[in-house]
Structures are given as structure tokens and as C-alpha cells.
Chains A and B, each alone.
Chain A
Amino acid sequence: MNWLLVIAGAVVGAPLRYLTDRAVQSRHDTAFPWGTFLVNVSGCTLLGFLSGATTAGAISSHLVLLLGTGLCGAFTTYSTFSYETLRLAESGARLQAAVNAVGIVAAGLGAAFTGAAVAQALWQ
């Protein structure tokens, strides 16, 4: 059962990242990887919310496996982020590479705190 929940989440999460990335890239003609930035930050917000809801006892562990481990895990990515940062650095855009690396970590952490705070406020 647990494995099936992770699989069901991943089946949706991975293609959703690809489609989101494509949609963002087709609208922004820039070398900065906004698509990965958007999926990672939004995934962090959702997982933060789920973590906060779990702490409050508002949702089941099954929902965390489906939406957290499966969907958010497959939706967000560290490998694409690190490769895009490397490509920026190798192409000479070192400042953009540094901004991408520090910015995505700061934004992701902020998003996780925000998601958890929203859940806490809802179920206090």
C-alpha cells in the first residue's frame, strides 16, 4: 500500500515538473532557469504545508506518502538544479550561477517555513 501511494504520486509529479518547466521556459526567453526555480519553491511550500498539517495531526500518513514522498519528491529536483547551476557557471554567467544556487536555497527554505506556518495557523 505504501509503495503504491509513492508510485501514484510520482506518476503525476515527474511529468508535472516537465510540463511546468516547459510552460515557464516558453514564456521567458532567458538563460536563468526559472522553471526549476518555480517547481522547487512551490514543491517546498506544499511539503511544508503537509509537514505542518502532520504535526497538527490533521492529515494521515498515507496522504503524506502520496503527496509528500511521491508527488513533491518527484516534482522537485536537486539534480536538474545543480546541472543548470553548473551550465551557467561554465557559460561564463558565474554571478547568475551563484544567485541561482543561493537564491533557490533561500527561497525554498522560506517556502517551507511559509507552508508550515499556514498549516499551523489553520489547525491551531
Chain B
Amino acid sequence: MPSDPRPPLAGEPVDPDVDLRVPEQRAETSPSPAPVLAVIAVGGVIGSCARYGAGLLWPTAAGAFPWTTLGINVVGCSVIGVLMVVITEVVTPHRLVRPFFGTGVLGGFTTFSTYANDVRGLIDGGNPRTGLAYMALTLLAALAGVWLAATATRRLLVHHREAR
């Protein structure tokens, strides 16, 4: 294992929100952080309302497998895989694009707190098998989703562009 995994990143952000080691990203909030915080708030509202609406459309009964939250998290993780490849490897977007879509919309849409508390609720409520299956399946599907989406986007857009 390399002692410092940073060099291979070479200016590419580990964190989709902001990476303070990269000067261009420190400049993200200059001259004023207000526009960045505003687009994050608006994006967060859009994402959260979409999540809340999905929960109303497809409610999960007590003790049942939380398919709606699983779907929300896996879809959100897949979309961020596409988004991050597009804005770091394909185009140079406006400085507010990543805060709005990545931090705001997708951050507001996906949720870690509901996921963990649904697992706790299932275990506490006498459905430990459902809880543990949900815990493992969400993690695996989310990581597979972000990896597949990023890989497919890279193949379609980055390699295609380099081939031209």
C-alpha cells in the first residue's frame, strides 16, 4: 500500500465537494462564498424534495425491506459517477455546476442517515436479517453503481474524444 495516495491524483479532486489542496478549488468560493452556498441550498432543496416525493409515492411498510431508499441511494451514486467524470475529464464547467449538482442536488437526494437508521430500526424491530441484507446490498449496489457509471462514461466520452 502506498504511504501517500495523493500523487496519482495529480490535481484531480478526491472529494467532489471541494478539495482545498487544489488552488482552483480554493478559488471556488472567491470572491464571496454566498453564490456557492446559495446554489448548494437550492440544489439541496431539489434533491431532498425528490427524495421525500419518492418516499410518498413508494412508501415502505414497517419491517419491510426499504427498497425506495435503496433505489434513491443507488441512482444518486450512479449519477455522481457520470457527473464527476464529465466535469473533471470531459468539460470545464462553470464554477457553480459542481456545488449545485454534486453537493446540492445529489447530496440532498441521497441520504446516509436514513439508511443507517433503517438498518437500526429493522434490527431493533425484530427483523435483523432484513436489516443486515439491506445494509450490505445498499453498500455493494452503491459502490458498483458509481464504479460502473464512471467507467462507462469514461469509455463513451473520454476515450471517444481522445480517439478523434
Contacts and interface: CB of A to CB of B under 8 A. Distances in A.
A76 B147 CA distance: 21
A18 B16 CA distance: 10
Contact of B142 (A74, A82, A91, A116): A82
A11 B41 CA distance: 5
A38 B113 CA distance: 12
A1 interface: no
Nearest to A6: B52
B2 interface: yes
A72 interface: yes
A18 B48 contact: no
Contact of A79 (B41, B79, B135): B79
B15 A73 contact: no
Contacts of B103: 14, 17-18, 80
B77 A22 contact: no
A124 interface: no
Contact of A18 (B13, B37, B49, B138): B37
Looking at B2, B116, B145, the one whose CB has the most chain A CB atoms below 10 A away is B116
Interface string B15-31: 11111110000000000
Looking at B1, B12, B103, the one whose CB has the most chain A CB atoms below 10 A away is B103
20 contacts: A9-B48, A10-B41, A10-B45, A15-B37, A18-B99, A29-B21, A31-B4, A31-B5, A68-B114, A69-B52, A70-B48, A72-B114, A77-B110, A77-B112, A78-B112, A78-B142, A79-B16, A86-B146, A87-B13, A104-B112
Interface of A: 3, 6-7, 9-15, 17-19, 21-22, 25-26, 29, 31, 33, 35-36, 40, 43-44, 46-48, 51, 68-70, 72-89, 91-96, 101, 104-105, 108-109, 111-113, 116
Interface of B: 1-2, 4-6, 8-9, 12-21, 36-37, 40-41, 43-45, 47-49, 51-52, 55, 73, 76-77, 79-81, 84, 99, 102-104, 106-117, 119-121, 124, 135, 138-139, 142-143, 145-147, 150
Given A88-B14, A112-B120, 12 more contacts: A3-B49, A6-B49, A10-B108, A11-B41, A14-B41, A35-B15, A36-B15, A40-B112, A43-B112, A73-B51, A76-B113, A82-B142
